[in-house]
Structure 1
Amino acid sequence: MPSIRAFTITYDALNEYGTFSEGDTITGSVTLALLKETKVESLFVKAKGDADVRWTHKSGDRTHTYSAHRRYFKLKQFLIPEGSKDTVLPQGNHVYRFSLNIPPGSMPSSFKGHHGKIVYMLVAKLSRSWKIDSVAEKELNFVSKCVPNLHALRMQQVGSTKKETGIFSRGQVHMDATVDKTAYAAGETMVITAKINNSTSSDMIPKISLVRDVVYRASSSNKFESQTVHKVVENCVKSQTQREIRCGIKIPCDYLLTIQNCEIITVDYHLKVYLDISFAFDPKIKFPVVILPPDIVSGFQSGVAMGPSPGGAVGGPSHSDFPPPQVSMGPYPASPHSGGYRYPAVQSYSAPPPAYPANPPMYTGPPCVYPSQPTHMSEGYNNPVPQQPSPYGSPFSSSSSSSVLHPPPAVPRFHSPPSAPEIQPFPPAISPSAPTYNLLPSAPMMHTDFLSQSDEGPPAYALLFPSSTTETSDGK
């Protein structure tokens, strides 16, 4: 007869979107339902974030495999300490509360593609003697707060192109295009305006495409994917006519977010406004587009301060005990399919601003630097984070009266080493007074104006600087 009826893990949502970001605190419960009394060796919960890419390429008879891995953090908390062979749990439901702090810094948003993924997981594992470990998992929807400078990304974009047509038509075509801004969130509408002057002998069709470019990187090799996620076709512009078109593209909720802070996976968007001309190269204008989480854009539009980040950079709302990281701006690398455009980069650490009354002090430590690992955490995990005191009171609320509720482990107390004995200062040493020296006599004060018009000669040198000692002539 099995002893475990159910083993699950749940987390508490921080916002209406159910997302987590850098510096947030993950709280939740691990529920263990036992059918009979059970001896347990250990029970722990861990949170981790990883990025992986993998693809194969066949060359002749050989197949090359490319793969890469990046770990952003891994946190572990024991709910039943490891090696507790004498821990016997009675029959019934046992609910264990946990609390884990995501480290601050720049980490990419969740992503899943054909050749790679960025996944953040919450895992609980129960170990018993001579039994297979029981595992419960829950995926976290992670949204990065490290975004480009929204103040710059909300400005209007303007582009222009002029082209002489080819052999099959004569004349010149000129097009000016504008996009209302660069950064958009799900549900927002992108407004595009184009003015076309067709001075050629050919008709042309204006088209607008929103393209997503994904790049996977591994072992000095890249894998590219380009997909048109939205396309608009306007009415034909006749020869020797002018026309202005205006259209809107609504950003769906299922669009992938822009990712520029991952070393092995990059997600970019660009808008292409072009004229389809038969038997000729199409004139086109490209605009960079950034897809952001809705809470970040809405917070910026409402004027809510998302954090004291310099340079206008803001982040999404955070419920973390960690203050938001300081940032500095830099250029993004050019997208391989974007025509070489660039736009501001994600946030990175920089020197803190001065602390004024209206500007509270911020976290000034460098990234990936945390205090020493508490004793209740397992050794060998990257980016250990100190566990905070339990934010949960007692008793805990529960729908089942027979459940045993276990609060998070207490924070270990560290005793400071005994202080060194006080050292008595030595009595001040009395130094002898410095000897006095007789200074050379200064030149006598003269009351004669040497610059006035006079026939008198200048005073003798001996009169100005008399000798301090009497010189004796040797008679030579």
Structure 2
Amino acid sequence: MPSVSSFSIAYETLNPSGTFSEGDIITGNVNLVLAKETKVQSLFIKAKGDADVRWTRKHGDRTHTYSAHRRYFKVKQFLIPEDSGEVVLPQGAHVYKFNFKLPPEGMPSSFRGVHGKIVYKLEAKLSRSWRMDSSAENEINFVSKTFPNFHSIMSQQVGSTNKEMGIFSKGHVNMDVIVNKMAYAPGEAVMITANINNSSSSEMTPKFKIKQDIVYRASGDTKHESNTVVKVAKNSVKPRTQESMNCSLQIPSDQIPTIHNCEIISVEYQLKVYLDISFSFDPEVVFPVVVLPPGFQYDGAMGPHPFGPTGGPSASDFPPPASAMGPYPSLPHSGSYGYPGLATSPVKPNNPPMYPGPPGVYPPQPAHMTGPYTNPVPLMPSPYGSPFSSSSSNSVLHPPPTAPELYRSPAPSAPQVQPPPSTQFPSAPNYPSSLMMKTDFLSQSDESPPAYSLLFPPPPAERSDAK
């Protein structure tokens, strides 16, 4: 009667899809059921990830085998140490808990193909004296969330083609194609718009196809595998006509995600939009397509959560970068003077938290103001003209604000200096000065007296009579 009745591994899932990604923690149990008391030397569990490819190719009379292997990680944890000697376990069920943290580096997603595979799994081994080792394993569905230039693959794609017709037709054909983006999750639809200008004498059929290309690499050789994921044909375009048509291609919900970070296995997708023309080469536009892993979350503003400190929640003690704190992370009085709260300092034992202030009682200041007082700077010319312009007769000059009485210093009085009588002229000729009134111009016969109009300008009625 065998001593080990059952030996298995169970782990807790983190999401409904049951997938794990870079940096996740795998927590589970090793379950051991003994039919009788048993002596055990060691019990351990390990987690590892490996990629393998293998295929054969015949060269003449010889058959050559191509193979390659890549190890991405391997961690091991002892549940019963080796150096503890033989441990006697009683009859019944025994449960050993474990946890592993997956490496944060980018690793390829799980994959199984015709000529290769990428497998992540847990392996447990029970060693006993003079007995065969008992082993158990359980695979992990790993999906990689490492996609370089993620914002670019979420952008719109545009392409065009132009073809001159051959012997059996005259004219030319032009096609412009717009695709809403490059990256799609399983179950999502690829939205395509094609503008076709058929200036030829041939009838043509627009067709849309998504193709999967798998490449295995080993020892300088490659093995290719191609599959059509989905294909749609539209109504034909008549000669000498223009048409604009939309097409939707849905990615299957169980589609394998794109694999771009494995040296020996790659999985890529292409969208091919072409015009099927009889007796002629088909003009086509080809776009790359990225199939994301299931359950992948994307934030349109900041990008996918696994990348960068501005994505999801972080356990880091360092503050977020400047891009996450707004355009003015160093402005004082955040939340005061009408500004909204921009950022707060990280909470530390000796640094109390800073809360945004109440709504400002002062009106909001322009972006170039940093102090609590407003000193307006004219950024654009006034539509009513400058207040300092002499050409405006309605301009009113306000004196600059004076300091309070507490800080006003008395100005020293300057001595009044009167100019000589011969050089003094009235600044405002409304009333004659007392000095001019005392001068007798009729008694000065040697020189002509000054003109009267210079000293006393006549009213408008007298000017018109003089003319």
Band the TM-score falls in, shorter-chain normalisation: 0.5 to 0.7
Residues 260-271 of structure 1: pairs in structure 2 closer than 5 A: 260-271=260-271
Q: Are the aligned partners of 1:39 and 1:85 in contact in 2 as well (CA < 8 Å)? A: no
Q: Are the aligned partners of 1:8 and 1:30 in contact in 2 as well (CA < 8 Å)? A: yes
Residues 158-197 of structure 1: pairs in structure 2 closer than 5 A: 158-197=158-197
Residues 49-128 of structure 1: pairs in structure 2 closer than 5 A: 49-128=49-128
Letter paired with 1:255:
Q
Structure 1 residue 33 displacement after superposition: 0.6
Letter paired with 1:232:
V
Partner of 2:462: none
Residues 362-377 of structure 1: pairs in structure 2 closer than 5 A: none
Partner of 2:147: 147
Q: Are the aligned partners of 2:186 and 2:255 in contact in 1 as well (CA < 8 Å)? A: yes
Say yes or no: does 1:295 pair with 2:284.
no
Tell me the alpha carbon deviations over residues 341-399 of structure 1, each in whole angstroms, 9 at most, x when there is no partner. xxxxxxxxxxx99966968xxxxxxxxxxxxxxxxxxxxxxxxxxxxxxxxxxxxxxxx
Structure 1 residue 210 displacement after superposition: 0.1
Q: 1:84 to 1:142 in 2, by over 3 A?
A: same
Q: 1:308 to 1:74 in 2, by over 3 A?
A: closer
Task: Name the larger-Rg structure.
Answer: 2
Structure 1 residue 201 displacement after superposition: 1.1
Partner of 1:435: none
Measure, in 1, the Cα distance between the counterparts of 2:101 and 2:209: 41
Say yes or no: does 1:223 pair with 2:223.
yes
Q: Are the aligned partners of 2:204 and 2:238 in contact in 1 as well (CA < 8 Å)? A: yes
Tell me the alpha carbon deviations over residues 154-198 of structure 1, each in whole angstroms, 9 at most, x when there is no partner. 111111110011111111001011111000001211101101111
Say yes or no: does 1:278 pair with 2:244.
no
Structure 1 residue 249 displacement after superposition: 1.1
Structure 1 residue 135 displacement after superposition: 1.0
Q: 1:231 to 1:84 in 2, by over 3 A?
A: same
Measure, in 2, the Cα distance between the counterparts of 1:146 and 1:105: 9
Partner of 2:213: 213
Q: Secondary structure, in 3 states, of the residue corresponding to 2:79? A: strand
Partner of 1:31: 31
Structure 1 residue 304 displacement after superposition: 8.1
Measure, in 2, the Cα distance between the counterparts of 1:278 and 1:357: 55
- TM norm structure 2: 0.66
Tell me the alpha carbon deviations over residues 98-119 of structure 1, each in whole angstroms, 9 at most, x when there is no partner. 0111112111001111111100
Measure, in 1, the Cα distance between the counterparts of 2:62 and 2:183: 44
Partner of 2:134: 134
Q: Are the aligned partners of 1:40 and 1:84 in contact in 2 as well (CA < 8 Å)? A: no
Q: Are the aligned partners of 1:107 and 1:144 in contact in 2 as well (CA < 8 Å)? A: yes
Letter paired with 2:36:
K
Measure, in 2, the Cα distance between the counterparts of 1:159 and 1:304: 25
Tell me the alpha carbon deviations over residues 62-120 of structure 1, each in whole angstroms, 9 at most, x when there is no partner. 00111000000011000001144320000110000001111121110011111111000
Gaps of 5+ in 1: 324-351, 360-476
Tell me the alpha carbon deviations over residues 415-438 of structure 1, each in whole angstroms, 9 at most, x when there is no partner. xxxxxxxxxxxxxxxxxxxxxxxx
Structure 1 residue 23 displacement after superposition: 1.3
Measure, in 2, the Cα distance between the counterparts of 1:44 and 1:65: 35
Structure 1 residue 149 displacement after superposition: 2.6
Measure, in 2, the Cα distance between the counterparts of 1:250 and 1:358: 35
- TM norm structure 1: 0.65
Measure, in 2, the Cα distance between the counterparts of 1:353 and 1:60: 65
Residues 232-251 of structure 1: pairs in structure 2 closer than 5 A: 232-251=232-251
Q: Secondary structure, in 3 states, of the residue corresponding to 1:199? A: strand
Q: Secondary structure, in 3 states, of the residue corresponding to 1:247? A: strand
Partner of 1:3: 3
Q: 1:227 to 1:358 in 2, by over 3 A?
A: closer
Structure 1 residue 122 displacement after superposition: 0.6
Which portions of structure 1, spanning 4 or more consecutive aligned residues, are displaced by more than 4 angstroms?
A: 301-305, 352-359
Letter paired with 2:6:
A
Q: Are the aligned partners of 2:213 and 2:267 in contact in 1 as well (CA < 8 Å)? A: yes
Tell me the alpha carbon deviations over residues 105-143 of structure 1, each in whole angstroms, 9 at most, x when there is no partner. 111001111111100011111111111111111000001
Q: Are the aligned partners of 2:151 and 2:303 in contact in 1 as well (CA < 8 Å)? A: no
Letter paired with 2:288:
P
Structure 1 residue 24 displacement after superposition: 1.2
Measure, in 2, the Cα distance between the counterparts of 1:307 and 1:76: 26
Measure, in 2, the Cα distance between the counterparts of 1:188 and 1:216: 27
Gaps of 5+ in 2: 326-467
Structure 1 residue 253 displacement after superposition: 1.6
Q: Are the aligned partners of 2:230 and 2:250 in contact in 1 as well (CA < 8 Å)? A: no
